């Protein structure tokens, strides 16, 4: 049986957890800005999106040789899918409200339900998984797992809503 030693593991070829988790938190805040009310900005070219694109580029940098496509193609494809991701998340939040008698509003589900947080993070990770980005989608879903105790593999195929 082989035993791995620290000399055999090169963590510099992995995305930074700190950058990755910060990216996820900022992206969720873009999708559901609590201070400004809900609603994804239709103009995805604003400075917050550009900042998120720069962060994603940094997160992806250690994976450069393993990526199936260029940074720009992956990043642009990912951000083009955000309106669809947002729409699915709204369906998920509505399903929580309809199926959980304790849920009083969409806002409550979005800000207070760990299940919704796990679903949101899964949907983000799944888009990167579909773009064949290695390891990052799993690192992202593990972030939600650590925060919520809910583990959804980024490759899981879930339709427009978890509940319908």
Residue identified by tokens 């760990």 is 114
- 3-state SS assignment for residue 149: coil
**Is the whole-model pTM more than 0.85?**
yes
pLDDT of residue 51: 93
**pLDDT attached to residue 148:** 96
- Cα distance between residue 51 and residue 26, in whole Å: 10
pLDDT tens for 80-119 read 999 999 999 999 999 999 999 999 999 999 999 999 999 9
Note the pLDDT of residue 103: 94
Question: Which domains can be identified in the chain, with CATH numbers?
Answer: 13-148 (1.10.3130.10)
**Portion of the chain with pLDDT greater than 90, in percent:** 77
**Long-range contacts of 71-77, Cβ-Cβ distance < 8 Å, separation of 24 or more:** 74/128, 74/131, 74/133, 77/131
- pLDDT digits 0-9 by tens, 59-86: 999 999 999 999 999 999 999 999 999 9
Closest to 27 in 3D by CA, of 140, 148, 152, 115: 140
What phi, psi does 87 have (nearest 5°)? -60, -40
- Asked whether the predicted pLDDT for residue 161 surpasses 90, the reply is no
How far are the Cα atoms of 19, 28, 51 from residue 12, in angstroms, in the given order? Answer: 13, 26, 23
Say if CB 141 and CB 107 are below 8 A apart: no
């Amino acid at each position: 049986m082989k035993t791995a030693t620290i000399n055999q593991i090169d963590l510099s070829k992995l995305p930074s957890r700190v950058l990755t988790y910060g990216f996820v938190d900022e992206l969720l805040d873009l999708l559901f800005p609590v201070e400004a009310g809900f609603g994804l900005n239709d103009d995805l070219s604003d400075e917050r999106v550009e900042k998120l694109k720069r962060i994603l580029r940094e997160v992806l940098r250690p994976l450069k040789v393993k990526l199936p496509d260029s940074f720009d193609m992956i990043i642009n494809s990912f951000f083009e899918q955000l309106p669809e991701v947002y729409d699915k998340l709204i369906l998920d939040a509505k399903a929580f409200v309809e199926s959980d008698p304790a849920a009083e509003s969409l806002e409550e589900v979005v800000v207070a339900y760990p299940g919704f947080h796990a679903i949101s993070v899964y949907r983000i990770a799944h888009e990167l998984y579909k773009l064949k980005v290695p390891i990052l989608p799993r690192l992202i879903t593990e972030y939600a797992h650590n925060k919520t105790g809910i583990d959804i593999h980024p490759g899981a195929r879930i339709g427009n809503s978890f509940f319908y």
